[in-house]
């Protein structure tokens, strides 16, 4: 037999421009959402822990970007030389995709660096 269950509350965090705050709150209340909590504790993304962790933990991507720029290649040019999609190179530089030994050797040869610097 089915029982009536208590609905769990959902917590949603959004960032909105300060100039539209009142308009958004009014729309939420018109749609039956009365419990709106506004916090003004925003910080620039560059100062956030998420950004700091991404930079600190992305040694290989930083090396790849630096070596690519040192040799004067764009991501598109490097993609053509390596037969690696440009968006994959971007993801590697931004720490969203690992480079791997095979690609490290390929980048090392093309960018005139030792492939072991990526590890």
pTM attached to this predicted model: 0.53
Residues near 118 by Cβ (< 8 Å), separated by ≥ 6? 60, 63, 64, 99, 104, 107, 108
CATH fit for domain 52-118, picks 1.10.260.40, 2.30.40.10, 3.50.50.60, 1.10.10.10: 1.10.260.40
Q: Above 80 in pLDDT, residue 52?
A: no
Max mean pLDDT range (18-27, 57-66, 82-91): 82-91
Q: Above 60 in pLDDT, residue 61?
A: yes
pLDDT at 91: 92
Number of residues assigned to the chain: 119
Q: List pLDDT tens digits, range 75-112.
A: 999 999 999 999 999 999 988 888 999 999 999 999 99
Domains of the chain by residue range: 52-118
pLDDT at 82: 95
Nearest to 38 by CA among 9, 72, 71, 15: 15
């Amino acid at each position: 037999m089915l029982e009536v269950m208590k609905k769990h509350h959902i917590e949603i965090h959004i960032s909105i421009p300060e100039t539209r705050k009142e308009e958004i709150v009014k729309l939420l209340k018109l749609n039956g959402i009365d419990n709106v909590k506004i916090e003004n504790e925003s910080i620039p993304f560059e100062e956030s822990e998420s950004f700091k962790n991404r930079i600190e933990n992305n040694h290989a991507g930083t090396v790849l970007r630096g070596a690519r720029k040192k040799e004067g290649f764009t991501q598109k040019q490097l993609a053509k030389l390596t037969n690696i999609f440009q968006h994959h190179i971007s993801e590697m530089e931004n720490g969203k995709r690992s480079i791997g030994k095979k690609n490290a050797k390929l980048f090392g040869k093309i960018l005139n660096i030792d492939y072991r610097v990526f590890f």
